[in-house]
Amino acid sequence: MGLFKKTPKNLPEYWSKYESLFKDPQSKNFDELIFVVLDTETTGFSFEDDRILSIGAVKIKKETISVQDVFDIYLTQEKFNKETVHVHGLLKNGQRECISEILALEKFLEYVGNAIIVAHHAGFDMGMLNTALVRHGLPKLKNTVLDTSVIYKKTLIKSYLVQPKPSYTLDELAEKFSISKKDRHTALGDAYITAVAFLKIISRLKEKKNFSLKSLIR
Amino acid sequence: MKNLISERVADFIKNYPPFNVLDSKSLFQLAEQVLIVYKEKNSIIFSVDESQHSHFYLVHKGAVTLSNPATSNILDFCDEGDIFGLRPLFANENYKLEARAHEESILYGIPIDIFRPIAKENEEVTVFLMESFASNTRNPYAKNQKGQLYESDDNETISNEVIIPDLQLASYSKKLVTCSTRTTIQKAAEIMTKRQIGSILVIRKDLPVGIITDKDFRNKVISGKQPITATVKSIMTTPVITYPKNLTITQAQMAMMKSNISHLVITEDGTPNSAALGILSKHDVMVSLGDNPAVLVKAIKRTSKIKKIKQLRKSVMVLLTGYLEQNIPLGLIAKIISELNDTCIKQVVEISIAKMDTPPPAKFAWLALGSQGRSEQLLHTDQDNALVFEDVPEEDLPKTTTYFLNLSKHITKALNTIGYEYCPADMMASNPKWCLSLQEWKNKLSYWIGNPGPNEVLMSSIFFDYSLAYGERNLLDNMSEHIFRTVEKYPVFLVHLANGALQSPSPTGFFRQFVVEQDGQHKDSFDLKSRALRPLIDAARVLILSHSVKAISNTWERYEKLAELEPNNQELYLACSYATKALLKFRTRQGLANHDSGRFIQLDQLSKQEKMKLKRTFKAIKEIQELITLRFKVTNILG
């Protein structure tokens, strides 16, 4: 397959820098891994037609989040979807300082590096980010991705009483782990809730047999 | 960079000293630099002699214990909003104590470099820090060391950090109820009844002059010495014994013993010549000491706050540790602790009902299942529970179910707050499958008994150990009778249940060595729960069910009953009863020592004698399993 893969030329320097981080394999020791827990707020659910309004992310190193080192970026919008605004409360060019999509992506790549990406319903956020990257002629993200809605299910005991729901919402997780739902529906607020839920899920899974990063991916 | 998360942090820390006196600029400056640290239960935050971290800590969620590992004394217990690990940073020395997450915790790491200049500028902060370093007062759960003022084996350097429990401050009730000297006896009695108190302070010109307790009414009024129309002056005990605030528990106890009284008055300057601040009663002292179940029950019943119950449950654990140290028979310990746990749950249910907009639309019962249902739950474990409500007309069923599901959600959440983990298999009344009307439960039970697949047998085995935690007993009796009737109709169910009871893995291998776990986190440790306790519990259940004995859910009581019903097997049954108690005691000790469920045992930590004791119980397990195999002809049917 690799033979037919188009290798876009003239990739910007920040991409090469990002890409070069993946040359070394990740540490085998789970406790040494760095995680970036992210959430995006968007104008809607279509990868093609909708746009990212904001990206929020926090970094977890050794079970610690530094308040200083968080990612909180708002994007200028050329397209504006009235319907989703009241859900997220983000107004087009509201009081927040906004930056262009390409600049936001550049900053995000710099922030995320080769960390493991964690998100709730990660498929959606990754889809939005990758579509945006491709739109600007860049390749897709190379990071390993974990989805809290998937790994949460691994904490549940399989019994006839729990027919695991196909998916759990972030609200359900926050409820289960008694995480305050303050700042819900802002990218950074959701990223923080996801991060705490992630830490709690991991500590429960660590007790199980054969725990490793691999066991989480599938 | 100011962001949502730093705002969230600032929003929390501004409520707690010393941050509550900071202006918002310093607060945000601090919040932006905070580290949010997640700590698993039992993980260490810093250990003795570790060099300084660049941060000190504030507990955001959870709890942290500070202890001296050499003596394994817990010296301080930090709850939400408490700070720790600050003194060494100011004194510029290594940590003198070990900090450990007592439960799953989230901590805020506050950078000392940013905090130090803020503290210097702000006099109130400095004063707070000086006071807390000097007195080390906040310490409600320090290990009780009666008659031991200083730890003799400690050297000088540690002693300024060590908190002496006997110097623990006694908390007194600040809500003063008073009357004047001219108040009539009748009026005073009315006030006391209305406020539900046992004593009232008599005041003249704002100064405390006397006190009246229930005893005074009995001795001086009912006996006819004084008419109820007389003034309180004629019966009050005077003068009052006064003390300044910051009285330690030991001082309070001494004072009460010395003057043979049960109430002390706390005044501003400690003399009767200043205004009263509060009353310290014998009851307050007892609660602070936490070594009396009756006092704890009373305290639990009085509270209307879930958080307060959580604190009281810590006293229950202190009590449990003490009982085990004193080697009190386990049957008795289990009775007392279960009684206390039941009281907590009852109070939680009552508080939760009060939180609902309307009273329950039908009669209901809250059932404790599993170990709690068997009254064998000594340590904090998962919550397993169910709810049954009386049958209602069909059109009201959806509405009623919704009400009880909401109520159950409140209750399970509150139970989680006071320390019961959610059941990972979701066997809780907040699950719509475990919150049913009587008829729905009967249908479900009939189904389990009539179609005993592996799931159904497992469900029955968890469910059949139920006991009433709150509500209507006859709903429960009704269910029990239904179970016995149905089992009679489907005797094959007992065979399946018996087969289930034989499924637990064997405790010893071919050479009579312990079988340890092969992999996972508990590699090389012995699984006491599934290899030793569960076979006994399962066997007792199937045997007692085959005799249709209801209302005994406790395992050793079941064996005692069986010994009575089958005199020819008496010896074996009594051995099983003894083995269950011995194993449970073992598990509880292990759990308390390691602050976990006690399920997994590190064999190398056991003495030879303990190992022998454990092995003796295995003999009973083997024999009871043989009895079940023969009696229910398990092999014939299942092959």
Q: What is the pLDDT of residues B441-487, one digit of tens each?
A: 999 989 888 888 877 887 887 778 888 889 998 998 888 889 888 88
Q: Do A66 and B35 touch (CB under 8 A)?
A: yes
> Is A197 a residue whose pLDDT tops 90?
yes
Chain A, chain B: beta-carbon pairs less than 8 Å apart: 98
Q: Is the peptide bond before B239 cis (omega within 30 degrees of 0)?
A: yes
Q: How many whole angstroms from its chain centre is CA B75?
A: 19
CATH topology of domain B178-288: CBS-domain (3.10.580)
B431 contact A CB<8A: yes
Q: Do B519 and A178 touch (CB under 8 A)?
A: no
- DSSP letters, B233-255, are GGT-B-SPPEEESS-BHHHHHHH
Specify the higher pLDDT residue, A84 or B10: B10
Are the C-beta atoms of B385 and B563 separated by less than 8 Å? no
* Torsion angle of C-alpha atoms B440, B443, B444, B448, degrees rounded to 10: 170
Secondary structure of residue B210 in the 3-state scheme: strand
Q: Is the peptide bond before B117 cis (omega within 30 degrees of 0)?
A: no
Of B532, B597, B590, the closest CA to residue B377 belongs to: B597
Give B608 to chain A, closest Cα distance, Å.
29
Q: How far is CA B417 from CA B305, B345, B595, in A?
A: 11, 12, 18
The sign one gets for the Cα dihedral A91, A95, A99, A105 is: negative
Q: What is the pLDDT of residues B1-43, one digit of tens each?
A: 567 888 888 888 888 878 888 888 888 888 888 999 999 888 8
pLDDT of residue B216: 86
B572, containing H or E segment:
helix B570-594
Strands (E), B4-79: 35-39, 44-46, 55-61, 64-68, 73-78
Specify the higher pLDDT residue, B459 or B395: B395
Give A76 to chain B, closest Cα distance, Å.
19
Of B577, B602, B578, the closest CA to residue B589 belongs to: B602
Q: What does the pLDDT average to over B296-311?
A: 83
| Chain A CB contacts of B520 below 8 Å | 207-210
Q: What is the pLDDT of residues B145-164, one digit of tens each?
A: 333 333 333 333 333 333 33
Per-residue b or e along B190-202, where b marks 16 or more CB atoms closer than 10 Å to that residue's CB: eebeeeebebbbb
DSSP state of A44: S
Q: Which of A178-192, A201-215, B565-579 has the highest mean pLDDT?
A: B565-579
**Distance from C-alpha of B518 to C-alpha of B525, rounded to nearest angstrom:** 9
Q: What count of other Cβ atoms lies within 10 Å of the Cβ of residue A137?
A: 13
**Distance from C-alpha of B414 to C-alpha of B303, rounded to nearest angstrom:** 14
- Side chain identity, residue B390: E
Task: Report the residue of A154, A161, A182, A190 to disrupt the B interface, i.e. the one with the largest count of B CBs within 10 Å.
Answer: A161
**Distance from C-alpha of B545 to C-alpha of A130, rounded to nearest angstrom:** 61
> Is B327 a residue whose pLDDT tops 80?
no
> Is B138 a residue whose pLDDT tops 70?
no
B-chain residue closest to A64, CA distance = B37
> Is A84 a residue whose pLDDT tops 70?
no
Q: Do B4 and A183 touch (CB under 8 A)?
A: yes
Q: Do A58 and B38 touch (CB under 8 A)?
A: no
Lowest-pLDDT range of A80-84, B95-99, B299-303, B309-313: A80-84
pLDDT of residue B133: 66
* CA–CA–CA angle A128, A130, A132 (5° rounding): 70
Are the C-beta atoms of B320 and B291 separated by less than 8 Å? no
Lowest-pLDDT range of A49-63, A94-108, B431-445: A94-108
| Chain B CB contacts of A188 below 8 Å | 3-5
Q: Do B3 and A156 touch (CB under 8 A)?
A: no
> Is B526 a residue whose pLDDT tops 70?
yes
User: B537 CB contacts (<8 Å, ≥6 apart)?
Assistant: B374, B376, B465, B555, B580
pLDDT of residue B611: 80
B444 contact A CB<8A: no
- Quote the mean pLDDT of chain B: 81
> Is B105 a residue whose pLDDT tops 70?
yes
Q: Do A208 and B35 touch (CB under 8 A)?
A: no
Q: Binning pLDDT at 50, 70 and 90, where does residue A199 land?
A: very high
Task: Report the residue of B6, B32, B34, B36 to disrupt the A interface, i.e. the one with the largest count of A CBs within 10 Å.
Answer: B36
Specify the higher pLDDT residue, B249 or B484: B484
Of B519, B43, B61, the closest CA to residue A31 belongs to: B43
Give B204 to chain A, closest Cα distance, Å.
50
Q: Do A209 and B519 touch (CB under 8 A)?
A: yes
Q: What count of other Cβ atoms lies within 10 Å of the Cβ of residue A209?
A: 12
pLDDT of residue B291: 61
Q: What count of other Cβ atoms lies within 10 Å of the Cβ of residue B441?
A: 23
**Distance from C-alpha of A66 to C-alpha of A60, rounded to nearest angstrom:** 8
pLDDT of residue B632: 84
B184, containing H or E segment:
none
| Chain A CB contacts of B37 below 8 Å | 63-65
Question: Could you give the ipTM of this predicted complex?
Answer: 0.83
Of B4, B36, B427, the CB nearest to A189: B4
Q: Binning pLDDT at 50, 70 and 90, where does residue B165 land?
A: very low
- Quote the tokens at residue B261: 């009284």
Lowest-pLDDT range of A28-32, A84-88, B54-58, B155-159: B155-159
User: B348 CB contacts (<8 Å, ≥6 apart)?
Assistant: B306, B309, B411, B414, B415, B418
Give A178 to chain B, closest Cα distance, Å.
9
Q: Binning pLDDT at 50, 70 and 90, where does residue B591 land?
A: confident
B-chain residue closest to A202, CA distance = B40
pLDDT of residue B143: 35
Q: What does the pLDDT average to over B392-408?
A: 93
B9 contact A CB<8A: yes
> Is B168 a residue whose pLDDT tops 80?
no
Of A155, A210, A211, the CB nearest to B424: A155
Q: Binning pLDDT at 50, 70 and 90, where does residue A5 land?
A: low
Are the C-beta atoms of B569 and B563 separated by less than 8 Å? yes
The top-level CATH class assigned to B4-167 is mainly beta
Of B124, B145, B47, B42, the closest CA to residue B88 belongs to: B47
- DSSP letters, B68-89, are ETTTTEEEEEE-TT-EES-HHH
Q: What count of other Cβ atoms lies within 10 Å of the Cβ of residue A8?
A: 11
Give B565 to chain A, closest Cα distance, Å.
35
Q: Do A64 and B35 touch (CB under 8 A)?
A: yes
> Is A195 a residue whose pLDDT tops 90?
yes
**Distance from C-alpha of B549 to C-alpha of B199, rounded to nearest angstrom:** 49
Of A70, A186, A200, the CB nearest to B104: A200
Q: Do A200 and B38 touch (CB under 8 A)?
A: yes
pLDDT of residue B141: 35
| Chain B CB contacts of A155 below 8 Å | 424
| Chain B CB contacts of A199 below 8 Å | 38
Domain residue ranges in chain B? 4-167, 178-288, 365-638
Q: What does the pLDDT average to over B510-529?
A: 71
Q: What count of other Cβ atoms lies within 10 Å of the Cβ of residue B218?
A: 10
Q: Which of residues 91-150 of B touch A (CB under 8 A)?
A: 104, 106, 109
Q: Binning pLDDT at 50, 70 and 90, where does residue A114 land?
A: very high
DSSP state of B382: B
pLDDT of residue B399: 93
pLDDT of residue B142: 37
B73-78 vs B83-84, strand pairing mode: unpaired
Secondary structure of residue B469 in the 3-state scheme: strand
pLDDT of residue A29: 84
Domains of chain A (ranges plus CATH)?
34-217 (3.30.420.10)
Q: Do B36 and A66 touch (CB under 8 A)?
A: yes
Q: Binning pLDDT at 50, 70 and 90, where does residue A145 land?
A: very high
B-chain residue closest to A187, CA distance = B4
The sign one gets for the Cα dihedral B4, B6, B9, B13 is: negative
Looking at chain B, the whole-number percentage of residues with pLDDT higher than 70 is: 89
Q: Do A203 and B40 touch (CB under 8 A)?
A: yes
Are the C-beta atoms of B414 and B352 separated by less than 8 Å? yes
**Distance from C-alpha of B505 to C-alpha of B512, rounded to nearest angstrom:** 14
> Is B530 a residue whose pLDDT tops 70?
yes
